[in-house]
Amino acid sequence: MVTLSEKKISRRASVRVPSIVIVTLFVLSLLSSTVLALGIAVAPTTMEIKDGLRGGEFERALILYNVGAEARGYVLNTTGEAGNWITFYDRNDPSKPIEEVMVPSNGSSQILVKFNIPEDAANGKHEAQILVQTAPEPGGNRSGQTITLGVPVDVTIMVTGTQILTGKVISITTRDTEINYPLRIKVEFQNTGNVVARPDIGVTITKDETVVDEFTYSETSIKVETRETIALERNTAGFEPGDYSAKVTVSLGGKVLATQELPFKILPVGTFSRLGNLVGISYMGTPSVGTTLKILANFTNTGEIESKAKFIGELYTDDVLMGTISSEELLVPVGETVSLNAYLKIERSGSYTLKGYVVYDGKMTGTEELSFEAKSVAEPTSKPTSKPVMGIPDFGALGAGLAVASVSWYMLHRRRRTL
């Protein structure tokens, strides 16, 4: 038999449930906004190496995406049996290992992942996992708690003791040139084996079916599972204007992979147009007194033949010319963009404007400007402030714990009142 008091307790308990659910969902929504603010994604989410030769080195690219509203640092870790075979590098500096990378807000960064298989690794399947985690904020937040997100990348490596030396020629090309300008031949080669490949390239140049020049090249090493363009060049000094043919043969391990006849012309000097653009000036470093800035001037060769290019910059302050800087002269191939670098030492504080242009084959580009403010190292700088992530500021894991505790106290208190 159910008493009246038992019915009241049952009815009040049923009323309390929606309130508890609402409070809990509110807490979860706050945590969700924080997680979104620290968002991270990676591509690919899995990596596989087939026919990995013992003692071999393999490379893969890993892209990190920061979908948060602020720039964020990410820590790179590995776990699993083959975790210590993995090393991370900056894509622009493949010689220096890294363990952490900064990714701009709503941006991405590409990481070079290298796999070095030990000489004594057993044949068969080996597994590892790459874990990309958000780096703790410097100093943490006031609560002492840190929200850390992590995304795993599963790695599978199939180790074999069999050496596979194979490759594929994608294309062989050349173009007309002028007397005293080099003949350039490009061979696009893909390494399809599991060891480093060094193709042998032989070139025979003929004119009117008569051999006028021969040479070989085998200095380029192609890493496993990569594609590269091998650039060959030959001096045309002493050649007469006219029609020529280059027979190019590509071999690997004594086996001929491809042979191609390439017709081309050697023309008088001045036949091709010389054109180019200075597409921008930037700098690397901190503009303060006593420091040296690296000036980068990007020049694009839009002409029909390669050109020698040199950057010249004029430094002004208050419209007064303070001095000039210049880069080394570089040979810029057709259709390519090259950074012409110069160095500028800051002698005093003030507002500066660098007006620069590129001189190439007797011509000059338009002028580009770069302005910056140089400060003395003695001048105080504003202390950087940390901006809390989206959601409740300084809430974090501790705040979530307090919220759950409050809900528990509420349940217990209401229960005692009804008894």
User: What is the residue-wise DSSP string for 258-283?
Assistant: EEEEEEEEEE-TT-S---EEEEEEEE
Cα separation, 234 vs 236, whole angstroms: 6
Q: Which residue has the higher pLDDT, 123 or 409?
A: 123
pLDDT tens digit sequence for 290-337: 999 999 999 999 999 999 999 999 999 988 999 999 999 999 999 999
Segment 30-59 shows an average pLDDT of 76
CA distances (Å), 256 to each of 100, 103, 156, 259, in order? 45, 45, 33, 8
Query: How much is the pLDDT for 388?
Result: 35
Lowest-pLDDT range of 144-148, 366-370, 401-405 = 401-405
How does pLDDT run across 181-208, given as a tens digit for each residue? 999 999 999 999 998 999 999 999 999 9
State the Cα–Cα distance between residues 184 and 236, nearest whole angstrom.
10
**Which structure tokens are listed for 177?**
């040139």
How many C-beta neighbours within 10 Å does residue 92 have?
A: 8
Q: What is the largest CA-CA distance in the chain?
A: 117
DSSP reduced 3-state for 386: coil
Are 101 and 111 in contact by the 8 Å Cβ rule? The answer is yes
pLDDT-wise least confident of 54-58, 148-152, 325-329: 148-152
Tell me the β-bridge partners of 232: 185
What are the phi and psi torsion angles at 416 (to 5°)? -65, -35
- pLDDT band for position 379 (cuts 50, 70, 90): low
For the segment 152-180, the average pLDDT, to the nearest whole number, is: 94
Question: Residue 11: which H helix or E strand, with range?
Answer: helix 4-37
Q: Which residue has the higher pLDDT, 3 or 267?
A: 267
**Structural element, H or E, at residue 270:** none
CA 283 to chain centre: 19
The amino acid sitting at 159 is: V
% of the chain residues with pLDDT over 90? 63
- Helix, strand, or coil here: 55? coil
Q: Name the least confident of 65-74, 277-286, 293-302, 306-315.
A: 65-74
Q: Are 312 and 281 in contact (CB under 8 A)?
A: no
Instruction: Classify residue 332 by burial, with Cβ atoms within 10 Å: 0-12, 13-18, 19+.
Output: buried
Residue 262's pLDDT band, with cuts at 50, 70 and 90, is: very high
Enumerate residues 6+ apart whose C-beta is below 8 A from 129.
78, 79, 80, 83, 152, 153, 154, 155
Mean pLDDT of all residues in 397-411: 43
DSSP annotation of 84 reads: G
Return d(Cα 126, Cα 124) in angstroms, integer. Answer: 7
289 close to 349: Cβ distance less than 8 angstroms: yes
- Answer whether residue 244 shows pLDDT above 90: yes
More confident residue, 154 or 8: 154
Q: Which helix (H) or strand (E) holds 233?
A: strand 227-234
Per-residue pLDDT at 3 exceeds 50: no
Per-residue pLDDT for 7 more than 50? no
Q: What is the mean pLDDT of the chain?
A: 82
